[in-house]
Amino acid sequence: MKIVVCVKQIPDPASPYQLDPESYFVVRPNDQVLDDTDRYGVEVALQLSDELGEDASVTLLSMSPGGSQQGIRQALAMGADGAILIEDETLRGADALTTSQILAAAATRAEADLLIAGTESTDGYTGVVPQQVAEIMGVPALTFARKVEHVDGKLRIERQTQAGYDVVEGALPAVLSVTSGVVEPRYPTFKGIMQAKSKPVETLTAADLGVTAKVSQKIVSVEEVEGRQAGDIIEDDGEGYLRIIEKLEEVKVV
């Protein structure tokens, strides 16, 4: 089984983001790190691959400016076999749909049986890419998985819902999006870090994939979010819990 895992490389969330004053895009430093949420997808892929043994391979898929590829290296060091990097200046400012077209084309080209992604990236967080990719590829979308099993050549997941979870099954090929917490991602081992250096990274452009980037998205302005309002203080006179229940009902939590 050929497993392809989406890994987004993002600016280190620990350092403050800067916006380009003209395009309003986030300034992408040379060293981008692995989006933490994609560590879960990588772990799911590695576990499936361990389970399937020889017949399985794990390839990373990332669309981002070139740079040091630290994020890809990290996922390779965790144990992935190789990576595909789509690096193309014409993709700067690509919206989610363009990104999905690119990722779908690359996954098809790599003959992926299973494409794994996060549910939502840490920096862009539109949360639509996995579903779009599935639609473009014409394969089932198994989304928001909090548990993943491979049974009889099919994939069975527990899809996280507001109320609990649904059990969903789908045949391969498929797209799978996993939530954080689905598994405990492994640390890259030191040997893994050494080996990652010599693992193959294939670099492609949009043209290689036969996709013409139509960047139709333009950011017109950026506003600061409103500061949070101070909360209501409920003084407990012994009956405070009733007011709290009322509040929770108001916001439809209970």
Ligand X SMILES: Cc1cc2nc3c(=O)[nH]c(=O)nc-3n(C[C@H](O)[C@H](O)[C@H](O)COP(=O)(O)OP(=O)(O)OC[C@H]3O[C@@H](n4cnc5c(N)ncnc54)[C@H](O)[C@@H]3O)c2cc1C
The residues binding another protein (CB under 8 A) are: 15, 31, 33, 68-70, 73-74, 77, 187-191, 193-194, 196-197
Minimal CA–CA distance to 59: which of 42, 78, 43, 82? 82
Which of the ranges 58-66, 67-75, 143-151, 196-204 carries the binding residues for ligand X, by CB under 6 A?
A: 58-66
Residue given tokens 């009956």 in the structure block: 239
The DSSP bridge pattern shows strands 154-160 and 141-151 to be antiparallel
Q: Nearest distance from residue 195's CB to another protein, in Å?
A: 11
Instruction: Give the nearer residue to another protein in terms of CB position, either 125 or 187.
Output: 187
CA angle 58, 77, 202 (to 5 degrees): 55
Binding mask 91-110 for ligand X (x = CB under 6 A): xx-xxx--x-----------
d(CA 159, CA 145): 5
d(CA 160, CA 163): 8
Q: What are the start-end ranges of the H helices in 149-239?
A: 190-196
Q: Nearest distance from residue 88's CB to ligand X, in Å?
A: 6
Q: Nearest distance from residue 243's CB to ligand X, in Å?
A: 38
- Amino acid making up residue 56: A
Q: Which residues bind ligand X (CB under 6 A)?
A: 6-8, 25-26, 28, 37-38, 41, 61-65, 88-89, 91-92, 94-96, 99, 117-118, 120-121, 123-130
